[in-house]
A and B are shown apart, each in its own frame.
Chain A
Amino acid sequence: MRHRARGEHIIRFDSVGLRYGLGPEVLQDITFKLPAGSFHFLTGASGAGKSSLLRLMYLGLRPTRGRVVMFDKDIAQTRRYELPALRRRIGVVFQDFRLLDHLSALDNVALPLRVRGVKESEVQKHVPELLSWVGLADHLKAKPSTLSGGQKQRVAIARAVIGRPDLLVADEPTGNVDDHIAMRLMYLFEELNKLGTTIVIATHNQALVGRFDHPRLHIEHGMVAKVE
Protein backbone atom coordinates (compact mmCIF):
# COMPACT_ATOMS: atom_id res chain seq x y z
CA MET A 1 0.00 0.00 0.00
CA ARG A 2 1.13 3.51 -0.83
CA HIS A 3 2.48 5.83 1.81
CA ARG A 4 -0.38 7.83 3.19
CA ALA A 5 -0.45 9.76 6.43
CA ARG A 6 -3.83 10.32 8.01
CA GLY A 7 -4.58 13.96 8.58
CA GLU A 8 -2.86 15.26 5.44
CA HIS A 9 -5.29 16.73 2.93
CA ILE A 10 -6.11 14.67 -0.11
CA ILE A 11 -8.34 17.28 -1.73
CA ARG A 12 -8.13 21.07 -1.49
CA PHE A 13 -10.41 23.44 -3.39
CA ASP A 14 -9.69 27.20 -3.25
CA SER A 15 -12.37 29.57 -4.62
CA VAL A 16 -13.14 27.14 -7.41
CA GLY A 17 -15.64 28.19 -10.06
CA LEU A 18 -17.00 26.15 -12.92
CA ARG A 19 -19.09 26.97 -15.94
CA TYR A 20 -19.97 24.80 -18.94
CA GLY A 21 -19.15 26.65 -22.12
CA LEU A 22 -20.70 30.10 -22.02
CA GLY A 23 -23.40 29.08 -19.54
CA PRO A 24 -23.83 30.43 -16.01
CA GLU A 25 -21.46 29.45 -13.23
CA VAL A 26 -22.68 26.09 -11.94
CA LEU A 27 -20.23 26.19 -9.07
CA GLN A 28 -18.97 29.42 -7.56
CA ASP A 29 -16.40 30.04 -4.87
CA ILE A 30 -16.09 26.45 -3.68
CA THR A 31 -13.57 26.23 -0.86
CA PHE A 32 -13.01 23.14 1.29
CA LYS A 33 -10.42 20.56 2.30
CA LEU A 34 -10.84 16.83 2.82
CA PRO A 35 -8.35 15.05 5.07
CA ALA A 36 -6.94 11.69 4.06
CA GLY A 37 -9.00 8.82 5.44
CA SER A 38 -12.18 10.87 5.80
CA PHE A 39 -15.68 9.84 4.71
CA HIS A 40 -18.03 12.52 3.35
CA PHE A 41 -21.49 12.62 1.87
CA LEU A 42 -22.09 15.17 -0.84
CA THR A 43 -25.68 16.37 -0.81
CA GLY A 44 -27.77 18.96 -2.61
CA ALA A 45 -30.88 19.25 -4.71
CA SER A 46 -31.02 17.76 -8.19
CA GLY A 47 -29.09 20.05 -10.51
CA ALA A 48 -27.24 21.66 -7.61
CA GLY A 49 -23.90 20.57 -9.06
CA LYS A 50 -22.96 17.38 -7.18
CA SER A 51 -21.85 15.49 -10.29
CA SER A 52 -19.98 18.56 -11.50
CA LEU A 53 -18.06 18.84 -8.25
CA LEU A 54 -17.18 15.14 -8.36
CA ARG A 55 -16.02 15.56 -11.97
CA LEU A 56 -13.55 18.18 -10.79
CA MET A 57 -12.38 15.78 -8.05
CA TYR A 58 -11.72 12.89 -10.40
CA LEU A 59 -9.97 15.17 -12.90
CA GLY A 60 -12.65 14.78 -15.54
CA LEU A 61 -12.90 18.55 -15.85
CA ARG A 62 -10.72 21.55 -15.19
CA PRO A 63 -12.13 24.42 -13.16
CA THR A 64 -12.78 27.70 -14.94
CA ARG A 65 -11.25 29.53 -12.00
CA GLY A 66 -9.71 28.87 -8.62
CA ARG A 67 -7.28 26.21 -7.51
CA VAL A 68 -7.74 22.44 -7.25
CA VAL A 69 -5.05 20.58 -5.31
CA MET A 70 -5.16 16.78 -5.31
CA PHE A 71 -2.64 14.68 -3.38
CA ASP A 72 -0.66 17.88 -2.77
CA LYS A 73 -0.38 18.58 -6.48
CA ASP A 74 -1.83 21.76 -7.94
CA ILE A 75 -3.68 20.42 -10.97
CA ALA A 76 -3.18 23.58 -13.02
CA GLN A 77 0.60 23.23 -12.55
CA THR A 78 0.70 19.51 -13.31
CA ARG A 79 1.99 18.27 -16.65
CA ARG A 80 -0.46 16.36 -18.79
CA TYR A 81 1.58 13.17 -18.77
CA GLU A 82 1.57 13.15 -14.96
CA LEU A 83 -2.23 13.20 -14.71
CA PRO A 84 -2.82 9.49 -15.46
CA ALA A 85 -0.74 8.58 -12.39
CA LEU A 86 -2.99 10.82 -10.26
CA ARG A 87 -6.16 9.41 -11.83
CA ARG A 88 -5.02 5.90 -10.93
CA ARG A 89 -5.17 6.90 -7.28
CA ILE A 90 -8.83 7.80 -7.70
CA GLY A 91 -11.61 5.24 -8.08
CA VAL A 92 -14.81 6.53 -9.68
CA VAL A 93 -18.35 5.14 -9.62
CA PHE A 94 -20.19 7.10 -12.30
CA GLN A 95 -23.82 8.05 -11.89
CA ASP A 96 -24.63 6.12 -15.09
CA PHE A 97 -21.98 3.39 -14.40
CA ARG A 98 -20.31 3.81 -17.79
CA LEU A 99 -19.51 0.14 -18.19
CA LEU A 100 -18.12 -0.98 -21.55
CA ASP A 101 -21.00 -2.91 -23.10
CA HIS A 102 -18.90 -5.18 -25.30
CA LEU A 103 -16.77 -6.39 -22.39
CA SER A 104 -17.71 -8.99 -19.77
CA ALA A 105 -18.07 -8.05 -16.11
CA LEU A 106 -14.62 -9.48 -15.54
CA ASP A 107 -13.02 -7.46 -18.33
CA ASN A 108 -14.76 -4.28 -17.17
CA VAL A 109 -13.41 -4.66 -13.67
CA ALA A 110 -9.99 -5.59 -15.09
CA LEU A 111 -9.67 -2.29 -16.98
CA PRO A 112 -7.90 -0.25 -14.29
CA LEU A 113 -5.35 -3.05 -13.86
CA ARG A 114 -4.77 -3.49 -17.59
CA VAL A 115 -4.34 0.25 -18.02
CA ARG A 116 -1.57 0.05 -15.41
CA GLY A 117 0.06 -2.84 -17.27
CA VAL A 118 -0.58 -5.37 -14.48
CA LYS A 119 0.35 -8.94 -15.46
CA GLU A 120 -2.54 -11.00 -16.86
CA SER A 121 -2.03 -13.74 -14.25
CA GLU A 122 -2.56 -11.18 -11.49
CA VAL A 123 -5.65 -9.84 -13.26
CA GLN A 124 -7.15 -13.32 -13.52
CA LYS A 125 -6.52 -13.85 -9.80
CA HIS A 126 -7.73 -10.58 -8.26
CA VAL A 127 -10.71 -9.69 -10.43
CA PRO A 128 -12.78 -12.86 -9.85
CA GLU A 129 -11.96 -12.56 -6.15
CA LEU A 130 -13.38 -9.07 -5.94
CA LEU A 131 -16.40 -9.91 -8.09
CA SER A 132 -17.26 -12.82 -5.74
CA TRP A 133 -16.92 -10.45 -2.85
CA VAL A 134 -19.62 -8.19 -4.31
CA GLY A 135 -21.77 -11.27 -5.00
CA LEU A 136 -21.18 -11.64 -8.71
CA ALA A 137 -19.18 -14.86 -8.75
CA ASP A 138 -21.69 -16.39 -11.15
CA HIS A 139 -21.60 -13.47 -13.56
CA LEU A 140 -17.92 -13.11 -14.44
CA LYS A 141 -18.53 -13.64 -18.14
CA ALA A 142 -21.82 -11.72 -18.33
CA LYS A 143 -22.09 -8.67 -20.54
CA PRO A 144 -23.48 -5.55 -18.80
CA SER A 145 -26.62 -5.63 -20.96
CA THR A 146 -27.62 -8.94 -19.36
CA LEU A 147 -27.20 -7.64 -15.80
CA SER A 148 -29.79 -5.95 -13.58
CA GLY A 149 -29.36 -2.34 -12.50
CA GLY A 150 -28.07 -3.37 -9.09
CA GLN A 151 -25.66 -5.89 -10.58
CA LYS A 152 -24.28 -3.29 -12.98
CA GLN A 153 -23.81 -0.95 -10.05
CA ARG A 154 -21.77 -3.57 -8.22
CA VAL A 155 -19.61 -4.15 -11.30
CA ALA A 156 -19.06 -0.39 -11.47
CA ILE A 157 -18.09 -0.30 -7.80
CA ALA A 158 -15.76 -3.27 -8.20
CA ARG A 159 -14.08 -1.46 -11.12
CA ALA A 160 -13.66 1.64 -8.95
CA VAL A 161 -11.98 -0.19 -6.07
CA ILE A 162 -9.94 -2.91 -7.84
CA GLY A 163 -6.92 -0.61 -8.08
CA ARG A 164 -6.95 0.06 -4.31
CA PRO A 165 -7.48 3.80 -4.81
CA ASP A 166 -6.55 6.38 -2.18
CA LEU A 167 -9.72 8.26 -3.00
CA LEU A 168 -13.09 6.77 -3.93
CA VAL A 169 -15.62 9.07 -5.55
CA ALA A 170 -19.12 7.67 -6.03
CA ASP A 171 -22.03 9.42 -7.72
CA GLU A 172 -25.37 8.10 -6.42
CA PRO A 173 -23.97 4.60 -5.93
CA THR A 174 -27.14 3.44 -4.23
CA GLY A 175 -29.54 5.05 -6.67
CA ASN A 176 -30.67 1.93 -8.46
CA VAL A 177 -30.83 -0.63 -5.70
CA ASP A 178 -33.27 -1.58 -2.98
CA ASP A 179 -32.59 -0.66 0.63
CA HIS A 180 -31.09 -4.00 1.47
CA ILE A 181 -28.45 -3.83 -1.28
CA ALA A 182 -27.89 -0.13 -0.58
CA MET A 183 -26.95 -0.98 3.00
CA ARG A 184 -24.61 -3.75 1.83
CA LEU A 185 -22.84 -1.35 -0.53
CA MET A 186 -22.58 1.22 2.25
CA TYR A 187 -20.92 -1.36 4.48
CA LEU A 188 -18.50 -2.13 1.63
CA PHE A 189 -17.56 1.57 1.52
CA GLU A 190 -17.20 1.61 5.31
CA GLU A 191 -14.81 -1.33 5.08
CA LEU A 192 -12.73 0.40 2.41
CA ASN A 193 -12.67 3.54 4.51
CA LYS A 194 -11.37 1.58 7.49
CA LEU A 195 -8.56 0.33 5.24
CA GLY A 196 -7.61 3.97 4.66
CA THR A 197 -9.45 5.01 1.50
CA THR A 198 -10.83 8.54 1.50
CA ILE A 199 -14.46 8.45 0.40
CA VAL A 200 -16.85 10.98 -1.11
CA ILE A 201 -20.39 9.83 -1.91
CA ALA A 202 -22.90 12.03 -3.68
CA THR A 203 -26.48 11.20 -2.85
CA HIS A 204 -29.85 12.75 -2.23
CA ASN A 205 -31.04 9.79 -0.22
CA GLN A 206 -31.57 11.60 3.10
CA ALA A 207 -32.48 8.41 4.94
CA LEU A 208 -29.13 6.90 4.04
CA VAL A 209 -27.24 10.01 5.10
CA GLY A 210 -29.11 9.96 8.41
CA ARG A 211 -28.20 6.38 9.16
CA PHE A 212 -24.45 6.99 9.02
CA ASP A 213 -22.51 9.34 11.13
CA HIS A 214 -20.42 11.06 8.47
CA PRO A 215 -19.92 14.76 7.76
CA ARG A 216 -21.76 16.28 4.83
CA LEU A 217 -20.73 18.66 2.09
CA HIS A 218 -23.91 20.40 1.06
CA ILE A 219 -24.17 22.33 -2.21
CA GLU A 220 -26.63 25.15 -2.53
CA HIS A 221 -26.60 28.09 -4.96
CA GLY A 222 -23.27 26.89 -6.30
CA MET A 223 -21.61 27.12 -2.89
CA VAL A 224 -20.49 24.44 -0.48
CA ALA A 225 -21.52 24.46 3.15
CA LYS A 226 -19.83 21.88 5.31
CA VAL A 227 -22.29 20.31 7.70
CA GLU A 228 -20.71 18.22 10.41
Chain B
Amino acid sequence: MLGRHSDLPLKGDATSRFLPWLVALMTFLAAVAVAGVFALGGLIARWDHDVSGTLTVQVEPVAGENGDALTEERVRDAVDLMRRVPGVTAAHALDKTQTLALLEPWLGSTEVVRDLPLPRLIDVTVDPNRVVDLAEVSDVLARKVPGASLDDHRVWLSRLINLSRTIEWLAIGIVALIGTVTSATVVYATRTGLAVHHGLIEVLHLIGAQDDYIARQFADRAFALAFAGGLLGLGMAVPALTAIGWAAHRLEGGFLPQLSLPLTGFVAIGLLPLGAAVLAMVTARLTVHAALARLP
Protein backbone atom coordinates (compact mmCIF):
# COMPACT_ATOMS: atom_id res chain seq x y z
CA MET B 1 0.00 0.00 0.00
CA LEU B 2 2.73 2.43 0.94
CA GLY B 3 4.94 1.64 -2.02
CA ARG B 4 2.18 1.82 -4.60
CA HIS B 5 2.63 3.84 -7.75
CA SER B 6 1.48 7.46 -7.73
CA ASP B 7 1.46 10.02 -10.56
CA LEU B 8 0.48 12.98 -8.43
CA PRO B 9 3.12 14.90 -6.45
CA LEU B 10 1.15 14.58 -3.20
CA LYS B 11 4.27 14.16 -1.09
CA GLY B 12 5.14 17.85 -1.32
CA ASP B 13 1.71 19.08 -0.22
CA ALA B 14 1.24 21.15 2.92
CA THR B 15 -1.09 18.36 4.09
CA SER B 16 1.97 16.18 4.64
CA ARG B 17 3.16 18.59 7.28
CA PHE B 18 0.07 19.13 9.39
CA LEU B 19 -2.05 15.99 9.04
CA PRO B 20 0.26 13.60 10.96
CA TRP B 21 0.50 16.01 13.89
CA LEU B 22 -3.22 16.49 14.01
CA VAL B 23 -3.85 12.75 13.85
CA ALA B 24 -1.19 12.24 16.54
CA LEU B 25 -3.02 14.60 18.88
CA MET B 26 -6.38 13.02 18.07
CA THR B 27 -5.00 9.52 18.63
CA PHE B 28 -3.57 10.60 21.96
CA LEU B 29 -6.93 12.00 23.09
CA ALA B 30 -8.78 8.98 21.78
CA ALA B 31 -6.38 6.66 23.61
CA VAL B 32 -7.06 8.46 26.90
CA ALA B 33 -10.81 8.33 26.29
CA VAL B 34 -10.73 4.65 25.28
CA ALA B 35 -8.64 3.82 28.36
CA GLY B 36 -11.26 5.65 30.42
CA VAL B 37 -14.08 3.66 28.82
CA PHE B 38 -12.41 0.33 29.51
CA ALA B 39 -11.23 1.18 33.03
CA LEU B 40 -14.70 2.42 33.97
CA GLY B 41 -16.25 -0.60 32.29
CA GLY B 42 -14.14 -2.89 34.50
CA LEU B 43 -15.02 -0.89 37.58
CA ILE B 44 -18.72 -0.99 36.78
CA ALA B 45 -18.63 -4.73 36.18
CA ARG B 46 -17.03 -5.28 39.58
CA TRP B 47 -19.48 -2.99 41.34
CA ASP B 48 -22.36 -4.60 39.51
CA HIS B 49 -21.20 -7.92 40.82
CA ASP B 50 -21.14 -6.54 44.36
CA VAL B 51 -24.60 -5.12 43.98
CA SER B 52 -26.17 -8.20 42.47
CA GLY B 53 -27.18 -11.31 44.39
CA THR B 54 -29.11 -10.62 47.56
CA LEU B 55 -30.14 -7.40 49.21
CA THR B 56 -31.71 -6.54 52.46
CA VAL B 57 -34.60 -4.19 53.15
CA GLN B 58 -35.06 -2.87 56.66
CA VAL B 59 -38.41 -1.81 58.06
CA GLU B 60 -38.35 0.29 61.25
CA PRO B 61 -40.69 -1.01 63.92
CA VAL B 62 -43.65 1.18 64.82
CA ALA B 63 -43.98 1.95 68.50
CA GLY B 64 -47.09 2.05 70.63
CA GLU B 65 -50.39 0.29 70.61
CA ASN B 66 -51.16 -1.62 67.40
CA GLY B 67 -47.47 -1.09 66.60
CA ASP B 68 -46.85 -4.72 65.83
CA ALA B 69 -49.81 -4.95 63.49
CA LEU B 70 -48.83 -1.75 61.70
CA THR B 71 -45.23 -2.92 61.35
CA GLU B 72 -46.46 -6.23 59.98
CA GLU B 73 -48.55 -4.38 57.37
CA ARG B 74 -45.58 -2.26 56.28
CA VAL B 75 -43.41 -5.34 55.96
CA ARG B 76 -46.06 -6.92 53.73
CA ASP B 77 -46.24 -3.77 51.61
CA ALA B 78 -42.47 -3.68 51.25
CA VAL B 79 -42.35 -7.37 50.26
CA ASP B 80 -45.11 -6.82 47.66
CA LEU B 81 -43.33 -3.81 46.28
CA MET B 82 -39.99 -5.58 46.04
CA ARG B 83 -41.53 -8.58 44.28
CA ARG B 84 -42.90 -6.29 41.60
CA VAL B 85 -39.47 -4.80 40.83
CA PRO B 86 -38.19 -6.22 37.52
CA GLY B 87 -35.12 -8.36 38.12
CA VAL B 88 -36.13 -9.36 41.65
CA THR B 89 -36.70 -13.10 41.72
CA ALA B 90 -37.79 -13.49 45.35
CA ALA B 91 -38.48 -11.44 48.46
CA HIS B 92 -39.51 -12.76 51.81
CA ALA B 93 -39.68 -11.30 55.26
CA LEU B 94 -37.74 -12.87 58.06
CA ASP B 95 -40.01 -13.41 61.03
CA LYS B 96 -39.01 -12.28 64.49
CA THR B 97 -37.48 -15.64 65.41
CA GLN B 98 -35.27 -15.66 62.32
CA THR B 99 -34.20 -12.10 63.00
CA LEU B 100 -33.32 -12.96 66.57
CA ALA B 101 -31.38 -15.99 65.37
CA LEU B 102 -29.32 -13.69 63.19
CA LEU B 103 -28.61 -11.44 66.14
CA GLU B 104 -27.86 -14.16 68.62
CA PRO B 105 -24.12 -14.25 68.05
CA TRP B 106 -23.94 -10.60 69.08
CA LEU B 107 -26.70 -10.19 71.61
CA GLY B 108 -26.60 -13.56 73.31
CA SER B 109 -29.67 -14.43 75.38
CA THR B 110 -32.70 -14.10 73.18
CA GLU B 111 -35.12 -13.77 76.06
CA VAL B 112 -33.86 -10.29 76.89
CA VAL B 113 -33.93 -8.87 73.38
CA ARG B 114 -37.24 -10.46 72.41
CA ASP B 115 -39.08 -7.35 73.61
CA LEU B 116 -36.71 -4.81 72.08
CA PRO B 117 -38.10 -2.85 69.09
CA LEU B 118 -35.97 -4.57 66.48
CA PRO B 119 -36.15 -3.59 62.82
CA ARG B 120 -37.70 -6.20 60.57
CA LEU B 121 -35.60 -7.54 57.71
CA ILE B 122 -36.65 -8.62 54.21
CA ASP B 123 -34.39 -10.88 52.22
CA VAL B 124 -34.46 -9.99 48.51
CA THR B 125 -32.93 -12.16 45.79
CA VAL B 126 -31.95 -10.45 42.56
CA ASP B 127 -31.42 -12.10 39.18
CA PRO B 128 -27.62 -11.86 38.82
CA ASN B 129 -27.93 -11.34 35.07
CA ARG B 130 -30.07 -8.26 35.36
CA VAL B 131 -29.13 -4.79 36.27
CA VAL B 132 -31.49 -3.33 38.86
CA ASP B 133 -31.41 0.38 39.42
CA LEU B 134 -31.21 0.26 43.19
CA ALA B 135 -31.14 4.02 43.60
CA GLU B 136 -34.53 4.20 41.91
CA VAL B 137 -35.92 1.25 43.91
CA SER B 138 -34.71 2.86 47.12
CA ASP B 139 -36.49 6.10 46.32
CA VAL B 140 -39.75 4.34 45.51
CA LEU B 141 -39.52 2.22 48.64
CA ALA B 142 -38.96 5.24 50.87
CA ARG B 143 -41.90 7.04 49.28
CA LYS B 144 -44.40 4.18 49.32
CA VAL B 145 -43.57 2.45 52.59
CA PRO B 146 -42.78 4.63 55.59
CA GLY B 147 -39.86 3.41 57.63
CA ALA B 148 -38.55 1.06 54.92
CA SER B 149 -35.06 1.45 53.51
CA LEU B 150 -32.69 -0.42 51.28
CA ASP B 151 -29.18 -1.42 52.21
CA ASP B 152 -27.23 1.87 52.26
CA HIS B 153 -23.91 0.76 50.89
CA ARG B 154 -25.51 -0.85 47.87
CA VAL B 155 -27.66 2.12 47.03
CA TRP B 156 -24.59 4.31 47.16
CA LEU B 157 -22.71 1.89 44.88
CA SER B 158 -25.65 1.85 42.55
CA ARG B 159 -25.59 5.64 42.33
CA LEU B 160 -21.87 5.49 41.60
CA ILE B 161 -22.52 2.95 38.84
CA ASN B 162 -25.07 5.26 37.25
CA LEU B 163 -22.61 8.12 37.34
CA SER B 164 -19.86 5.96 35.90
CA ARG B 165 -22.14 4.80 33.10
CA THR B 166 -22.84 8.40 32.19
CA ILE B 167 -19.12 9.15 32.13
CA GLU B 168 -18.56 6.02 30.07
CA TRP B 169 -21.04 7.19 27.44
CA LEU B 170 -19.50 10.60 27.52
CA ALA B 171 -16.10 9.07 26.78
CA ILE B 172 -17.55 7.02 23.92
CA GLY B 173 -19.11 10.23 22.61
CA ILE B 174 -15.73 11.94 22.80
CA VAL B 175 -14.10 9.15 20.78
CA ALA B 176 -16.84 9.52 18.15
CA LEU B 177 -16.31 13.28 18.12
CA ILE B 178 -12.56 12.83 17.68
CA GLY B 179 -13.26 10.55 14.71
CA THR B 180 -15.57 13.17 13.20
CA VAL B 181 -13.03 15.96 13.61
CA THR B 182 -10.28 13.82 12.08
CA SER B 183 -12.55 12.94 9.18
CA ALA B 184 -13.49 16.56 8.60
CA THR B 185 -9.83 17.54 8.55
CA VAL B 186 -9.07 14.86 5.99
CA VAL B 187 -11.94 16.13 3.83
CA TYR B 188 -10.51 19.65 4.01
CA ALA B 189 -6.96 18.49 3.28
CA THR B 190 -8.11 16.35 0.37
CA ARG B 191 -10.14 19.18 -1.15
CA THR B 192 -7.10 21.43 -0.89
CA GLY B 193 -5.01 18.79 -2.64
CA LEU B 194 -7.62 18.45 -5.37
CA ALA B 195 -7.60 22.19 -5.93
CA VAL B 196 -3.80 22.42 -5.98
CA HIS B 197 -3.46 19.58 -8.47
CA HIS B 198 -6.55 20.37 -10.48
CA GLY B 199 -4.67 20.63 -13.77
CA LEU B 200 -2.87 17.32 -13.37
CA ILE B 201 -6.02 15.56 -12.29
CA GLU B 202 -7.85 16.84 -15.35
CA VAL B 203 -5.09 15.45 -17.58
CA LEU B 204 -5.33 12.03 -15.92
CA HIS B 205 -9.09 12.19 -16.29
CA LEU B 206 -8.89 13.03 -20.01
CA ILE B 207 -6.32 10.29 -20.61
CA GLY B 208 -8.97 7.84 -19.43
CA ALA B 209 -8.22 7.34 -15.74
CA GLN B 210 -11.10 5.88 -13.76
CA ASP B 211 -12.10 8.06 -10.81
CA ASP B 212 -10.80 5.42 -8.46
CA TYR B 213 -7.35 5.50 -10.05
CA ILE B 214 -7.08 9.11 -8.88
CA ALA B 215 -8.96 8.57 -5.61
CA ARG B 216 -6.66 5.72 -4.66
CA GLN B 217 -3.59 7.94 -4.85
CA PHE B 218 -5.14 10.38 -2.40
CA ALA B 219 -6.39 7.52 -0.21
CA ASP B 220 -2.97 5.84 -0.06
CA ARG B 221 -1.37 9.12 0.90
CA ALA B 222 -3.97 9.83 3.59
CA PHE B 223 -3.50 6.32 4.96
CA ALA B 224 0.27 6.71 5.20
CA LEU B 225 0.08 10.14 6.83
CA ALA B 226 -2.62 9.16 9.32
CA PHE B 227 -0.86 5.92 10.20
CA ALA B 228 2.38 7.76 10.92
CA GLY B 229 0.47 10.29 13.02
CA GLY B 230 -1.42 7.53 14.80
CA LEU B 231 1.79 5.76 15.78
CA LEU B 232 3.19 9.03 17.06
CA GLY B 233 0.04 9.65 19.12
CA LEU B 234 0.17 6.12 20.48
CA GLY B 235 3.81 6.70 21.40
CA MET B 236 2.73 9.73 23.43
CA ALA B 237 -0.29 8.01 24.98
CA VAL B 238 1.48 4.93 26.34
CA PRO B 239 3.72 6.76 28.84
CA ALA B 240 0.88 9.11 29.80
CA LEU B 241 -1.50 6.22 30.52
CA THR B 242 1.20 4.33 32.37
CA ALA B 243 1.72 7.37 34.59
CA ILE B 244 -2.01 7.69 35.27
CA GLY B 245 -2.25 3.97 36.06
CA TRP B 246 0.68 4.23 38.43
CA ALA B 247 -0.83 7.23 40.19
CA ALA B 248 -4.17 5.44 40.53
CA HIS B 249 -2.38 2.42 41.93
CA ARG B 250 -0.87 4.56 44.67
CA LEU B 251 -4.28 6.01 45.54
CA GLU B 252 -5.72 2.55 45.83
CA GLY B 253 -6.78 1.11 49.16
CA GLY B 254 -9.09 4.07 49.39
CA PHE B 255 -12.52 3.85 47.91
CA LEU B 256 -11.33 3.07 44.36
CA PRO B 257 -10.99 -0.58 43.61
CA GLN B 258 -8.17 -1.53 41.27
CA LEU B 259 -8.30 0.77 38.27
CA SER B 260 -6.84 -1.46 35.61
CA LEU B 261 -7.10 -1.85 31.86
CA PRO B 262 -8.29 -5.24 30.59
CA LEU B 263 -6.51 -6.89 27.67
CA THR B 264 -9.27 -5.81 25.27
CA GLY B 265 -8.54 -2.24 26.32
CA PHE B 266 -4.88 -2.59 25.36
CA VAL B 267 -5.86 -4.14 22.05
CA ALA B 268 -8.36 -1.34 21.33
CA ILE B 269 -5.77 1.33 22.07
CA GLY B 270 -3.14 -0.52 20.04
CA LEU B 271 -5.50 -0.56 17.07
CA LEU B 272 -6.14 3.19 17.19
CA PRO B 273 -3.40 4.12 14.65
CA LEU B 274 -4.76 1.59 12.20
CA GLY B 275 -8.28 2.84 12.85
CA ALA B 276 -7.23 6.42 12.22
CA ALA B 277 -5.43 5.39 9.02
CA VAL B 278 -8.42 3.47 7.68
CA LEU B 279 -10.75 6.34 8.57
CA ALA B 280 -8.49 8.81 6.74
CA MET B 281 -8.17 6.51 3.74
CA VAL B 282 -11.91 5.96 3.35
CA THR B 283 -12.66 9.66 3.89
CA ALA B 284 -10.10 10.76 1.30
CA ARG B 285 -11.39 8.26 -1.22
CA LEU B 286 -15.00 9.32 -0.82
CA THR B 287 -14.04 13.00 -0.98
CA VAL B 288 -12.18 12.53 -4.26
CA HIS B 289 -15.02 10.51 -5.77
CA ALA B 290 -17.50 13.21 -4.82
CA ALA B 291 -15.31 15.91 -6.38
CA LEU B 292 -14.56 13.99 -9.58
CA ALA B 293 -18.23 13.26 -10.14
CA ARG B 294 -18.46 16.91 -11.20
CA LEU B 295 -16.04 16.47 -14.12
CA PRO B 296 -17.62 15.70 -17.52
Q: Which stretch of A26-34, A38-46, A111-119, A206-214 is in the interface? A: A111-119
- Bound Cα distance from A88 to B296, whole angstroms: 15
Say whether A116 contacts B7, CB under 8 Å: no
Say whether A116 contacts B208, CB under 8 Å: yes
- Known contacts A62-B296, A80-B293, A115-B213; decide if A102 and B9 are in contact (CB<8 Å): yes
- Known contacts A61-B296, A98-B203, A111-B204; decide if A84 and B7 are in contact (CB<8 Å): no
Say whether A84 contacts B5, CB under 8 Å: no
Q: Which residues of B contact A59 (CB under 8 A)?
A: 206, 296
- Known contacts A100-B7, A114-B5; decide if A60 and B200 are in contact (CB<8 Å): no
Q: Which of A60, A62, A81, A114 is close to B206, meaning CB atoms less than 8 Å apart?
A: A60
- Bound Cα distance from A18 to B40, whole angstroms: 65
Is A103 part of the contact surface with B, judged by Cβ < 8 Å? Answer: yes
Q: Which residues of B contact A103 (CB under 8 A)?
A: 7
Interface residues of A in 107-130 (CB under 8 A from B): 107, 111-112, 114-116
- Bound Cα distance from A83 to B290, whole angstroms: 17
Interface residues of A in 133-149 (CB under 8 A from B): none
Say whether B207 contacts A111, CB under 8 Å: yes
- Known contacts A59-B296, A60-B296, A115-B213; decide if A107 and B206 are in contact (CB<8 Å): no
Interface residues on A, range: 20 to 34
Is A87 part of the contact surface with B, judged by Cβ < 8 Å? Answer: yes
- Bound Cα distance from A184 to B7, whole angstroms: 30
Q: Which residues of B contact A114 (CB under 8 A)?
A: 5, 7
Interface residues of A in 49-80 (CB under 8 A from B): 58-62, 80
Is B64 part of the contact surface with A, judged by Cβ < 8 Å? Answer: no
9 shortest A-B CB distances, which residue pairs? A88-B208, A87-B208, A102-B9, A115-B209, A84-B208, A62-B296, A112-B207, A84-B210, A98-B203
Task: Give B203 Cβ to nearest chain A Cβ, in Å.
Answer: 5
Is B199 part of the contact surface with A, judged by Cβ < 8 Å? Answer: yes
Residue interface bits B190-225, CB-to-A below 8 A is 1, else 0: 000000000110111111111001000000000000
Residue interface bits A142-172, CB-to-B below 8 A is 1, else 0: 0000000000000000010001000000000
